[in-house]
Amino acid sequence: MRRVALVVLSIALGAGLLMGMAPAAAEAAAPAAPKVSPKHPVRGAKFTASGRVKTAFRRTIILQTRISGRWKKAAKAKTTQTGRYSFTTRTTATKPSYRVVVPKTRYHGHRYPRLVSKTRTFTTRAHTTLRATQVAIGSEHTCALTSSGGVKCWGNNHEGEVGNGSWGSEHTPSTVVNLTKSKAVSAGWRHSCALSTTGTVKCWGENRQGELGNGTSVEASLRPVAVSNLHDIVAIASGGSHNCALTSAGTVKCWGQNSSGQLGDGTTTLRRTPVTVSGLSNVVAIGAGERDTCAVTTAGTVKCWGDNWFGALGDGTDVSFSRTPVPVTGLSDVTTVAAGEGHTCALTTVGVVKCWGRNTGLEHVVALPGEDSWDVPTAIDGFENIKSISAGRDHVCVVTSVGTVACRGSNDFGQLGDGTTTDRNAPITIPSLNSVTAVGAGDTHTCAVTKSGAVKCWGSNTFGQLGNNNTKNRHTPVAVVGFG
C-alpha cells in the first residue's frame, strides 16, 4: 500500500509540474518576423512593424533594429491580451533589419522564457522630390497641390483632414488617397477639399457640420468623398466649417455650417449638400472665412455674406449677419479676395490691398492701432505692388511682384516669420524668402511656395503642420520634407 501511495503521489506531483509548465511551454516557440507596412517605406518616413506572439496575457515587447552589426532597441510597447503588437517608427537605412524580443517574465507563479522573433530585412525607397504649385492652410494642418496633380497633406489628423486613410498626426507630407488630376486644394478648420481637372470636387476630414457635402451625417471621413451634384467647377474655397465652389457659369454653390448665413441661401440651416447662393452672378473669384464668404464679380466689385460681428461684410452696417450677399462699400477693380476670422482683404488690379473687419487686441490685421474693427475697406500701408494675398486667423501675408513675402498682425507663434514673436502693425518682409509664387496663412502658421516648387513653413508646429519632421515651433521659414 505504501508503494502504491508513493507512486500515486509521484504521478500527481509530476502532473502538477507539467501543468505548471504548460503555459510557458506553449509560448516557447519563436515568433514570426514582424510584418512591415508599407513593404518598402520611404527613408525617414513613418512605417509600421506589426505581428503576433503566443501569449495568454499582455507582455512587454521590444522592437530592435540592427546597427553596425549590433541589435539596438528601436521601440518598446505591450502586446494586446491576445498577443498582437504594432510599432510605428522610422528608419534612414537603405536596407534595415528588424526583429522583436519578448523579455522573460513571471506571471501567476509561472516562468515565461525570453523569445526572439525571426528577422525582417527590407529595402527602403528614397524621397521623390516633389514640386508644389499651391498651399492650403487649415487650423493645424497643411495641404499642397503638386505639379503632377496629386495632393499631399500633413499636421493634425484627428478628424482625417490629412486624407491618407488613417488617424494620427503626420509630421511630414502624406499622400491623399483616391485623388488624381487635381488642380486646386482648399483647407478649413478640420477638413480639406480638392478640385479636379474635370470640374468635380472631393472633400475629406470632419463632417459634423456637413463639410463633406455628400449628404451623409458621418462624423468624419479618412478618405476623399465626392461632393454631391457639383460639376463644371472652376474654383473652391474653404472656411471654418463650410465650403463654396465657383461654377463656370459664374454662380456660387456652398455647403456645410450655416449658423451665420455663410452659405448665402437666405437661411441659417446647415446644408449637407451644395445650395446656390441667392442673387449672385458673374462671379470670377471667391474667398471663405471662419463664418463669412465673399465673391468678386466681373465688374471688379465684391459682395459678402455671413457673419458681420466685427464688420466682416464691409458694408458699413452693424447688423450681426446677413443670409444673402451684400455689396462691400467703396471697392472697385478687385481681382481676388481673402477672408480670415472676422476680417477680409481684397487685392486690386494695381496691387493695392484693402482690408476690413476684426482688429481686436494686438492683432492690428485691419484697422489702425487702437481701433477694434473697421467696417469698410481701408488701404493697408506698406502693402504695395502685391501679386497675391492670404488671410489667417489674426494675420495677413502677401506675395509681392518681386517674389518676396510680407506679413502683419499677430505673431505669438512666430507666424509672421521674422524671427520674433512680436506683433506687427506694419508689414514686415521675411528676409530669407525669395522667388515665392504663392502664400497661405492659417490659424497660427504660414507656408509659401517657391518658383522651384519647394514649400517653406513657419509658426506653430504642435502637430507637425510645418512638415519638417518635428513639432518645434519655428519663427523663421523651414523647408517641408520632400518638396523642391
Q: Which CATH number covers residue 71?
A: 2.60.40.10
Q: Are residues 432 and 455 in the same domain?
A: yes
Residue 13 pLDDT > 70: no
Does residue 90 belong to any structural domain of this protein? yes
State how far the Cα of 2 lies from the Cα of 99, in Å rounded to an integer. 54
Q: Which of 317, 399, 370, 305 is nearest to 344 (CA)?
A: 305
- Residue 184 belongs to a domain: yes
pLDDT of residue 249: 98
pLDDT value of residue 30: 83
**Pairwise CA distance, residues 466 & 447, whole Å:** 8
Q: Are residues 180 and 32 in the same domain?
A: no
- Select from 121, 145, 170 the last residue of a domain: 121
Instruction: Rounding to the nearest 10 degrees, give the CA dihedral for residues 105, 119, 72, 55.
Output: -20
Share of the chain above pLDDT 90, in %: 81
Q: What is the DSSP string of 332-356?
A: -SEEEEEE-SSEEEEEETTS-EEEE
- Render 263-326 in DSSP notation, one character per residue: T-SSS---EEEEEEPTT--SEEEEEE-SSEEEEEETTS-EEEEEE-TTSTT-SS---SEEEEEE
Q: Phi and psi for 26 in degrees, rounded to 5? A: -65, -25
Residues 172, 104: one domain?
A: no
The answer for residues whose C-beta is within 8 angstroms of residue 327's C-beta and 6 or more apart is 301, 302, 303, 315
Say if residue 290 is in the same domain as residue 370.
Answer: yes
Residues 460 and 368 in one domain: yes
Give the chain's domain count. Answer: 2
Copy the grid coordinates of residue 41. 517605406
CB-based contacts of 413: which residues, under 8 Å, 6+ apart?
421, 444, 445, 459, 460, 473
Q: What integer pLDDT is reported at residue 364 of this predicted model? A: 47
Q: Of 69, 93, 121, which residue sits at a domain end? A: 121
pLDDT at 405 over 60: yes
Same domain for 216 and 96:
no
Task: Please check whether residue 292 lies inside any domain of the structure.
Answer: yes
Judge whether residue 390 has pLDDT over 70.
yes
What mean pLDDT is predicted for residues 158-182? 95
The pLDDT of residue 24 is above 80: no
**pLDDT (0 to 100) of residue 180:** 87
Domain co-membership, 73 together with 160: no
On whether both 27 and 165 belong to a single domain, the answer is no
Which residues span the domain enclosing 467? 132-479
128-143 tens-digit pLDDT: 789 999 999 999 999 9
Query: 6: helix, coil or strand?
Result: helix
Sign (positive/negative) of CA torsion 41, 43, 45, 50? Answer: positive
Within a domain: 426: yes
Confidence of residue 9 (pLDDT cuts 50, 70, 90): very low
Grade residue 309 by pLDDT with cuts at 50, 70 and 90.
Answer: confident
Residue 359 pLDDT level (bands cut at 50, 70, 90): confident
Instruction: Tell me whether residue 12 is in a domain.
Output: no
**Same domain assignment for residues 156 and 218:** yes
